[in-house]
Amino acid sequence: MDISLLYSIDLFGTAIFAVSGVLLAGRLRMDPFGVIVLASVTAIGGGTIRDMALGATPVFWIRNTSYLWVILITCIITMLIVRRPKRVAWWILPVCDAIGLAVFVGIGVEKAMSYQSSPLVAIIMGVLTGCGGGIIRDVLAREIPMVLRSEVYATACIIGGVFHTSALALGYSSETALLSGISSTLIIRLGAIRWHLSLPIFALQR
């Protein structure tokens, strides 16, 4: 995989997830410090968990502070552009989240495979990278994490990871495999948002 392309996609995903955190912070009327914290955990939380699990030390944003600068700049620009959070269309936050999710799942799978992980472990690392930051974000915002609801969220990550690792197993290039994983995750997640798709829930009868 071309390192420069992978790095560019990683920074793009960081910015998108940071936007997702800023928009949620704006709806919750947080101060600028709260906005930066929520954006940061959303953007780098999942990748941090992934690197710690893989034993990749130091974690990526300590080794390369460009990620922190991307988050800070994204926060400033987004806060300047989005002055009235209540007027932001309802679909902007979930769509931004879906784009960041798809990109981060692909990055997580790709990094795990570079550490000679098995396809199963790579898929798990992809899910952690994509969902970890969102879980921390939602917990800080006092919301039930999206991955724990009935929405098609983690399922989209798993399917994207399966497409990614399967493409590699079939001999496709890293670029093709990465794009297939990102595309499948994004299509499934956007479809779930558009048509309100959800998984069956488990509920005990009283």
- pLDDT (tens digit, 9 = 90+) per residue, 20-43? 899 889 889 999 999 999 999 999
Q: What are phi and psi of 198, to 5 degrees?
A: -150, 165
For residue 1, pLDDT over 60 is answered with no
Which residues lie below 8 Å from residue 8, measured CB to CB, with a gap of 6+? none
| Per-residue model confidence (pLDDT) at position 84 | 61
Domain boundaries, given as residue ranges, for the chain: 3-195
What HEC string does 123-147 produce? HHHHHHHHHHHHHHHHHHCCCCCHH
Query: Does position 2 have pLDDT exceeding 70, yes or no?
Result: no
**Mean of all residue pLDDT scores within the chain:** 90
The pLDDT value recorded for residue 20 is: 86
Q: Give the pLDDT band of residue 66 (cuts 50, 70, 90).
A: very high
Q: What is the mean pLDDT of residues 100-125?
A: 94
pLDDT in tens, 161-197: 999 999 999 999 998 999 999 999 999 999 999 998 8
Instruction: Give per-residue pLDDT as tens, 133-153.
Output: 989 999 999 888 878 876 899
- Please give the pLDDT value at position 33: 94
Average pLDDT of 91-115?
89
pLDDT at 55 over 90: yes
The pLDDT value recorded for residue 27 is 87
Nearest to 179 by CA among 105, 93, 96, 97: 105
